[in-house]
Amino acid sequence: MFHRSFLMLTTLTCLGMPALAIAQQNNGIEAVSCLVDPGRSATMSSQVPGMLDDIRVDSGDRVDEGETLFTLQREVEQASLELERARQRYAQRTLQRNQRLIEKGMLSESERDEIDTDVVVARLQANLAEARLGEQTGEAPFDGVIASLESEEGEFIDNTPILEIVQLDPLRIDLVMPLEAFGQYATGDTLDIRLQAPVDETVTAAIERIDSVIDPSSGTFGIRLRLDNPDGRYPAGINCRIAD
């Protein structure tokens, strides 16, 4: 019996048919649930409290990693940065004016140390002011699509969700499998997955992760698959099943 099954599996593989999907069909094991999710998702807020000044995107917009999505009112932080940069330039000019005296050894060690310290402190204060200004801006953490806007311009933000961004390439397929399927799959294997409405199409996805712990209350475990979606053809949030 084993030799006959092995011969059948080898023949199917040589014909280009997905052996794992066939094994799933022969065993008659079905997933408890199957859902297509975004590859990544993030609910974005502000690092600091403040007044939401400008939302530069809308629901459905595609954005690139690092693209500015929103800004808080930042006039005070901008003025502070300009002030610290002016102090930095003054400290640098002071150093340049005294450079000849330093080279000739006409300044004491304490005087030289004070000038050098002023330059360093001015640079650090300018860097700090620039970092505080940067906290007033929200940038996309990855390439994705704006799923929803949660706040409006003019609102005071304090750990308040502003928007949600999702990644649609690749997509993530989460399977919840019964206990009897445990040990029948390996990372890197592929499965044929039937996407439900509105797609109604069978795709091939690769297994990225298999839970090593069984849920004792339900007798199930999870399998996560990766579905490449470079043209955005497949939406997230739809049901699926292992193809027959």
pLDDT tens digit sequence for 212-241: 999 999 999 999 999 999 988 999 999 999
Q: Which two tokens stand for residue 79?
A: 């003025």
Cβ atoms of 171 and 38 within 8 Å: the answer is yes
pLDDT of residue 28: 67
- Return the residue matching tokens 């995107």: 57
Cβ atoms of 166 and 40 within 8 Å: the answer is yes
Lowest mean pLDDT among 27-36, 51-60, 122-131, 168-177: 27-36
Average pLDDT over residues 89-99: 89
Pairing of the two strands 33-44 and 163-178:
antiparallel
- Return the residue matching tokens 């499965």: 191
Question: Could you report the per-residue pLDDT of 51-64, keeping only the tens digit for each?
Answer: 999 999 999 999 99
pLDDT grade, residue 105 (50/70/90)? confident
CA distances from 88 to 107, 112, 127, 183 (A): 21, 17, 10, 64
Largest CA distance in the chain: 98
pLDDT of residue 102: 74
- Domains of the chain with bracketed CATH: 2-40+167-242 (2.40.30.170), 42-70+139-164 (2.40.50.100), 75-134 (1.10.287)
- The Cβ of residue 81 has, within 10 Å, a number of other Cβ atoms equal to 21
